[in-house]
Amino acid sequence: GQVFRLEDYRRSDYRIPETRLAFDLDPEQTTVVSELVIERADDSAAGAPLVLDGDGLDLVALELNGEALGENAFEATPDRLTIHALPTDSTFRLTITTRVNPSANQALMGLYRSSGVYTTQCEAEGFRRITYYLDRPDILSVYRVRLEADKATAPLLLSNGNPVEAGDLPGGRHFAVWDDPHPKPSYLFALVAGDLGVVTDEFVTMSSRRVALGIHVEKGKEPRAAYAMDALKRSMKWDEEVFGLEYDLDVFNIVAVSDFNMGAMENKGLNIFNDKYVLADEETATDADFANIEAIIAHEYFHNWTGNRITCRDWFQLCLKEGLTVFRDHEFSADQRSRAVKRIAEVRTLKAHQFPEDQGPLAHPVRPRRYREINNFYTATVYEKGSEVVRMIRTILGAEAFRAGMDLYFERHDGDAATIEDFLTVFEEVSGRDLSQFALWYHQAGTPNVSVKASHNAATGELVLDIEQSSPPTPGESRKRLMHIPLAFGLVGPDGRDMVWESVEGATIEHGVLHVRKRKHHVRFTGISERPRLSLNRGFSAPITLSVEEKPEDRAFLARHDGDLFSRWQALGGLMSDAIIEASKHLRDGRKAEYGREIPELCGVIATDDRLEEAYRALALALPSEADVAREIGANIDPDAILAARNGLVEAIAAANGDTFAALYDQLADSEPFTPDAASAGRRSLRNMLLDYLSSGPGATGRAAAQYRDAGNMTDRSAALSVLVMRHPDAADTKAALADFETRFGDDALVMDKWFQIQAAAPGAGALETVRTLTTHPGFSIANPNRVRSLIGTFSSANQTGFHRADGEGYRFFADIVLQVEQRNPQVAARLATGLRSWRSLEPKRKARAREALLRIASTENLSPDLRDIVERTLA
């Protein structure tokens, strides 16, 4: 396949200042008339042919300035329309008629139907599946869209911008016209037509403009959109207060659809969402669902400025909108909820998804320099690491200069298709700093490592830190340059407080942040009378790994006393991870695992420390996942040994704290009616964490079965079901609860996704048969991305022992499914296939079997570019 390279970027010879689209919507034969005002960019382009992108298109008619074009004047293939003979005037009008079949579109890109609703997905290159166009993000155009459809089945007609006209037509049809005054790239175009229920509200902006808000959902589900509406209004307010950014149209619509490749899409004035991230009430959604809805509603709304008003020059700049918008939604959630808890959750996600990507065959820079399939670059690196890079800019500059830089960015680049260089320049200008070394975070792949060795001389009061940075090689980048790493730290004294030094030399330290810029820093502090404990990378100030020679008792001290809550969590997690790794080695060698008393004792202390928020305590008690431990081990992974070692630690913690945990569990029972706020959610998460520990012993199903039965909300119900399935898969209580769940929620696909997910995560060799059987369940559909992700995605990403079965059957099944999904939806199949990206770190037998599965996929004929790209890079 073709490789696209950043250095090949060229401005287009043509611009499209105006785009008029007319859709005559029909389930199988939709006609699209596109009337484009085209401008030659400059005289040097005279004579250059106009080449428009297409993808599987069927051209019906073509006119230039109102005249049909002769056969020799153009060349049309499904994937390209080339017009050779163009008028000499600098502006002309092109009218293109295409015909598309929305019902046949299973790839869910371009115009398709989801449960009878016409909808579109154009990012990144879906617009070219609707009409021929300069389908690239630096072509900004003003759109006017006319929609015509059957009124009975599609009473709702939406597009971008503001509504300008609507009316009835003969034959039971009707029309609506939408006008979007803000120039936008084609990837932000959207339409929706269907019969949906709506929740409406209003937002009054900071300059007193009234904005009509609408959230459109499946009829009957309107009450489940109330939380999303509340989150939308809070997002609009927050962006005004924190960034001074106001909404810019008269209406803002959100539509929830049930077939969607990703989470949501920020189309101008018409966000389209996966219904999973809109619909929630206490009976059907968990606290995690509520938090996700809040975050994604905010994310898409925030794109209105970071993405839409300022868009990307090309797809290499994807992190310009995505990393920045993730940073903004993280800050929003931190402000709405608990900052420390939110930060821990972010870092857990980063480590679970981005670190393995950065440390495996699919590693790429936050701003890649080449791609074969752009859909495969909507990654944790572009999104999550991209957000971390923005966070580091704020850490380095300080909050005030960061805000000044953002203000300048909006002022200077509003209406632009911008680059990462443009973004960095504003921060350099407002701060006077040179960010050229820092810019490597955008250009260089891989997770840097910082090693720290400390020596303390009590007699002289000197503390010396020997700090060294290194970056492991990544595909195509064997030699790495030195990074600018902002390392927040504290020297924790014996009383748990941060010590103050007299002088320091060897590195710049500003506001508790040590700037690592050289390969080695020999940093000498004076005035440190007692040996401090090192609290490093506080708040995860840089997305790095740390190598520190640290005594377990120092870690335990930090876990108890560090004034920085994030670092306390980090210290405890490190202790837990080391204990599981040690135990897994013992178990592999046929020895007995020992866990010591420190961790169980610490868990007891933290669980009952009511100075700490409950949500924080729950996170502290959560052991590193099996995948986290596997990543720490890095090579020759045996998932069975890790599971056994982790379970051993769960049991040791439970045995040491049984009575305490039981009393606390009872005390935390909800006495008030359900509310989804952070404090109540935190209480439930701690209680459900305790339930897991309390249910870890043989036969200990009683509490979970009772909680399942009595649950007044989905958080408690699904947590109890999960504990039963994970800890006691064969128990009668488990079977009864699973059957009950299916009876209660069998008709609700989104809730049944939880049922699929919980079963797909159940550990052990038997999981494969369960998952295989569930693929034949009437509620499962290989054509629906949410179903596939719930069952197959969970199995491959969250079931280490089931998926990585020693006999390789898990991989064989997985490859079969990936190939089946690919027939319909290459994008979803390619993303699914990344489940095998860490195959090289497995023990040799599993490694060989995983490779066989990958090779089988790679050797399949007519593989889509999406899947081919992923498997070939994974195998390289």
Q: At what angle do helices 565-588 and 339-349 cross, to 10 degrees?
A: 40
Single out the residue of 639, 548, 561, 646 nearest to residue 606, CA to CA: 561
Q: How does strand 30-40 pair with strand 91-100?
A: antiparallel
| Residue 262 interacts with, from Zn ion, ligand HT7, none (CB under 5-8 Å by kind) | ligand HT7
CA angle centred on 771, ends 765 and 776, rounded to 5°: 145
Q: Given candidates 286, 304, 375, 874, which one binds ligand HT7 under the rule CB under 6 A?
A: 375
Residue in the block written with tokens 């993303």: 831
Q: What does 781-826 look like in DSSP terms, one character per residue?
A: -TT-HHHHIIIIIHHHHH-HHHHT-TTSHHHHHHHHHHHHHHHH-H
Q: What does 657-669 look like in DSSP terms, one character per residue?
A: HHHHHHHHHHHTS
| Residue 559 interacts with, from Zn ion, ligand HT7, none (CB under 5-8 Å by kind) | none
Provide, rounded to whole angstroms, the least separation between the CB of residue 303 and Zn ion.
Answer: 6
DSSP state of 506: S
> Measured from the CB atom, is 299 or 328 closer to ligand HT7?
299
| Residue 123 interacts with, from ligand HT7, Zn ion, none (CB under 5-8 Å by kind) | ligand HT7
47 C-beta neighbours (distance < 10 Å), count: 11
- Decide: is 799 part of the binding site for ligand HT7 (CB under 6 A): no
Provide, rounded to whole angstroms, the least separation between the CB of residue 398 and ligand HT7.
Answer: 28
- Decide: is 297 part of the binding site for ligand HT7 (CB under 6 A): no
Assess contact for 639 and 801: CB atoms under 8 A.
yes
Single out the residue of 303, 294, 300 nearest to residue 333, CA to CA: 294
Catalytic residues: 300
> Measured from the CB atom, is 785 or 802 closer to Zn ion?
785
Provide, rounded to whole angstroms, the least separation between the CB of residue 264 and ligand HT7.
Answer: 6
Question: Is residue 400 exposed (0-12), middle (13-18) or buried (19+ Cβ within 10 Å)?
Answer: exposed
Subset of residues 308 to 367 that bind ligand HT7, contact rule: CB under 6 A:
322
> Measured from the CB atom, is 322 or 357 closer to Zn ion?
322
- Decide: is 299 part of the binding site for ligand HT7 (CB under 6 A): yes
> Measured from the CB atom, is 124 or 350 closer to ligand HT7?
124
Single out the residue of 449, 435, 363, 446 nearest to residue 405, CA to CA: 435
For residue 254, what is the enclosing H or E element? strand 251-257
Q: How far apart are CA 539 and CA 350, in angstroms?
A: 13
Subset of residues 509 to 568 that bind Zn ion, contact rule: CB under 5 A:
none
Assess contact for 326 and 353: CB atoms under 8 A.
no
> Measured from the CB atom, is 74 or 187 closer to ligand HT7?
187
Q: Given candidates 176, 190, 254, 265, which one binds ligand HT7 under the rule CB under 6 A?
A: 265
Q: Given candidates 259, 266, 358, 692, which one binds ligand HT7 under the rule CB under 6 A?
A: 266
Single out the residue of 402, 399, 403, 365 nearest to residue 385, CA to CA: 365
For residue 554, what is the enclosing H or E element? helix 552-561
Instruction: Spell out, one character per residue from 300 to 329, where the chain touches Zn ion: x when CB under 5 A holds, - when not.
Output: ----------------------x--x----
| Residue 258 interacts with, from ligand HT7, Zn ion, none (CB under 5-8 Å by kind) | none
Assess contact for 182 and 309: CB atoms under 8 A.
yes
| Residue 373 interacts with, from ligand HT7, Zn ion, none (CB under 5-8 Å by kind) | none
Provide, rounded to whole angstroms, the least separation between the CB of residue 274 and ligand HT7.
Answer: 8
Single out the residue of 211, 215, 224 nearest to residue 264, CA to CA: 215
- Decide: is 157 part of the binding site for ligand HT7 (CB under 6 A): no
Provide, rounded to whole angstroms, the least separation between the CB of residue 829 and ligand HT7.
Answer: 13
Q: How far apart are CA 618 and CA 686, in angstroms?
A: 4
> Measured from the CB atom, is 707 or 825 closer to ligand HT7?
825
In the beta sheet, which residues pair with residue 149? 174
Q: How far apart are CA 395 and CA 527, in angstroms?
A: 26
- Decide: is 692 part of the binding site for ligand HT7 (CB under 6 A): no
- Decide: is 261 part of the binding site for ligand HT7 (CB under 6 A): yes
| Residue 124 interacts with, from ligand HT7, Zn ion, none (CB under 5-8 Å by kind) | ligand HT7
> Measured from the CB atom, is 486 or 785 closer to ligand HT7?
785
Provide, rounded to whole angstroms, the least separation between the CB of residue 318 and ligand HT7.
Answer: 8
> Measured from the CB atom, is 38 or 788 closer to ligand HT7?
788
- Decide: is 300 part of the binding site for ligand HT7 (CB under 6 A): yes
Provide, rounded to whole angstroms, the least separation between the CB of residue 852 and Zn ion.
Answer: 36
Q: What does 413-455 look like in DSSP terms, one character per residue?
A: HTT-EE-HHHHHHHHHHHH----TTTTHHHH--S--EEEEEEE
Q: How far apart are CA 632 and CA 646, in angstroms?
A: 14
Provide, rounded to whole angstroms, the least separation between the CB of residue 322 and Zn ion.
Answer: 5
- Decide: is 124 part of the binding site for ligand HT7 (CB under 6 A): yes
Provide, rounded to whole angstroms, the least separation between the CB of residue 351 and ligand HT7.
Answer: 21
Provide, rounded to whole angstroms, the least separation between the CB of residue 299 and ligand HT7.
Answer: 6
Q: How far apart are CA 543 and CA 540, in angstroms?
A: 6
| Residue 641 interacts with, from ligand HT7, Zn ion, none (CB under 5-8 Å by kind) | none
Single out the residue of 213, 54, 201, 203 nearest to residue 134, CA to CA: 54
- Decide: is 557 part of the binding site for ligand HT7 (CB under 6 A): no
Q: How far apart are CA 860 and CA 867, in angstroms?
A: 10
> Measured from the CB atom, is 4 or 378 closer to ligand HT7?
378
> Measured from the CB atom, is 378 or 501 closer to ligand HT7?
378
Tokens linked to 591: 């020895």
Q: Given candidates 4, 9, 243, 378, which one binds ligand HT7 under the rule CB under 6 A?
A: 378
The residue of the chain with the least Cβ separation from ligand HT7 equals: 262
Question: Phi and psi at residue 862, in whole multiples of 5°?
Answer: 55, 40
Provide, rounded to whole angstroms, the least separation between the CB of residue 451 and ligand HT7.
Answer: 35
Provide, rounded to whole angstroms, the least separation between the CB of residue 681 and ligand HT7.
Answer: 24
Candidate ranges 164-172, 258-266, 445-453, 796-804; the one touching ligand HT7 (CB under 6 A): 258-266
519 C-beta neighbours (distance < 10 Å), count: 10
Candidate ranges 13-21, 116-124, 327-335, 700-708; the one touching ligand HT7 (CB under 6 A): 116-124
Candidate ranges 35-43, 295-303, 585-593, 726-734; the one touching ligand HT7 (CB under 6 A): 295-303
| Residue 20 interacts with, from Zn ion, ligand HT7, none (CB under 5-8 Å by kind) | none
| Residue 265 interacts with, from Zn ion, ligand HT7, none (CB under 5-8 Å by kind) | ligand HT7
Q: How does strand 251-257 pair with strand 210-217?
A: parallel
Q: Say whether 525 sits in a helix, a strand or coil.
A: strand
Q: Given candidates 114, 121, 354, 800, which one binds ligand HT7 under the rule CB under 6 A?
A: 121
Q: How far apart are CA 273 and CA 297, in angstroms?
A: 9
Q: Distances from the Cα of 598 to the Cαs of 557, 586, 604, 606, in angstroms?
A: 10, 19, 10, 12
> Binders of ligand HT7: how many residues, by CB under 6 A?
15
- Decide: is 832 part of the binding site for ligand HT7 (CB under 6 A): no
Provide, rounded to whole angstroms, the least separation between the CB of residue 276 and ligand HT7.
Answer: 13
Cα dihedral 443, 444, 449, 451 in deg (nearest 10): -70
- Decide: is 689 part of the binding site for ligand HT7 (CB under 6 A): no
Tokens linked to 124: 């990144």
| Residue 690 interacts with, from ligand HT7, Zn ion, none (CB under 5-8 Å by kind) | none
| Residues at the contact surface with Zn ion, assessed by CB under 5 A | 322, 325
| Residues at the contact surface with ligand HT7, assessed by CB under 6 A | 121, 123-124, 261-262, 264-266, 299-300, 303, 322, 375, 378, 827
